[in-house]
Amino acid sequence: MQSQIVSNFSPTTTSKFNTQRLLMWLYLGTVAMLFAAFTSALIVSRTDNLARDNWLQFKMPFSFTITTAIILLSSVTLHWAWISAKKDRPSSLNLALALTIVLGILFLTGQVIGYSKLVAMNVYLVGNVSGSFFYVLTAMHGLHLVAGLIALIYITIQAFRLRISSSNLVGLELCSTFWHALGLLWLYLFVFLSYIY
């Protein structure tokens, strides 16, 4: 009788997924706190440096506006992938995932173009705390996006092998959660940095 009760509490796919989902949200919470700390430090530093007339004011290049539109569009294509997987439409799923990867690469390319525009404006990583904060915040987001792209590429390979379907959505859901969170994080950074600079 006791062994039967114990066997009823053996790990299931659902419990493993719930654990993975919990870990994902804990990780995203950590990322959110990290960026909140950096943006708070930026506000304090800006106030202090403005008082000492040591704050480099510059206009954010337009390419960052374009990348904002790109990352929002990538969330749309990834949601399309989710719907396609739930409806067991592999061709639509593959196309949507491929488009999301392309948009992610375009986002990173646009960020690099934005950095080149900043350099042309004499805004560097070192030299003034104003530029340093901008580069560090956007680059940290970019590194997280690279991780998201790697996850997306893995999921896309699984999709092309017909391993993503309405009965197997765990990987796609976790990847989507991470990607959408990165989109929201960038939107926050874009609005925040537009106000600061």
- pLDDT of 50: 87
Q: Model confidence over 2-21: pLDDT tens digits?
A: 444 444 434 555 677 789 99
Q: What would the CATH number be for the domain defined by 16-196?
A: 1.20.120.80
Domain limits of the chain? 16-196
Residue 51 confidence (pLDDT): 80
* DSSP state letter for 119: H
pLDDT of res. 1? 43
Dmax (CA) of the chain? 77
- Residues lower than pLDDT 50 in the chain: 1-10
Q: Which pLDDT does position 12 carry in this prediction?
A: 55
Whether the pTM exceeds 0.85: the reply is yes
SS3 127: coil
Phi-psi region of 137 (alpha: psi -120 to 50; beta: other; left: phi over 0): alpha
Which residue in 120, 103, 101, 113 sits closest to 138, CA to CA?
113
Terminal-residue alpha carbon distance, the chain:
68
Predicted confidence at residue 6, as pLDDT, reads 40
